[in-house]
Amino acid sequence: MKLVKQIFNFYLDASIHVAASVFCLLEITALILDITINQNLAYFCFFSTIVCYNFIKYGVEAKKYVLVANKYHKNIQVFSFIALAFAVYFSFFLHKDVWYCMGALGLFTGLYAVPVLPNAKNLRSFGALKVFMVGIVWAGVTVLLPVLSANMSLTTDVWIETFQRFLIVLVLLMPFEIRDLQYDSPALKTIPQRFGVIHTKIATGIVVLIFFFVTYLKATITPLDLIAKGILFISFGFLVQYTQGKQGKYFASFWVEAFPIFWFVIVYVANYFI
- Which SS3 state, helix, strand or coil, does residue 251 take? helix
CA atoms of 28 and 21, how far apart (whole Å):
10
The pLDDT value given to residue 66: 58
CA 123 vs CA 112, 128, 134, 207: distances in Å: 5, 10, 11, 23
DSSP letter at 213?
A: H
Average pLDDT over all residues of the chain: 85
CA dist., res. 42 & res. 146, Å (int)? 8
Higher pLDDT, 119 or 110: 110
Reported as a single tens digit per residue, the pLDDT across 228-253 is 999 999 999 999 888 887 888 889 88
Measured distance CA(69)–CA(259) in Å, rounded: 34
Q: How many CB atoms lie within 10 A of CB 192?
A: 22
pLDDT in tens, 170-205: 999 999 888 887 777 666 677 888 888 899 899 999
The region of weakest confidence among 31-40, 49-58, 105-114 is: 105-114
Residue 92's φ and ψ, nearest 5 degrees, are -70, -15
Question: Is 113 within 8 Å of 124 (Cβ atoms)?
Answer: yes
Give the CB-side neighbour count of residue 112, counting CA atoms within 13 A: 23
Given a cut of 80, whether residue 78 has pLDDT beyond it is yes
123-152 pLDDT, tens digit each: 555 556 778 888 898 999 999 999 988 888
Residue 38 CA to its chain's centroid (Å): 19
| Contact by Cβ (8 Å): 28, 260 | yes
Q: What percentage of the chain reaches a pLDDT higher than 90?
A: 50
Q: 61 falls in which pLDDT band (50, 70, 90)?
A: very low
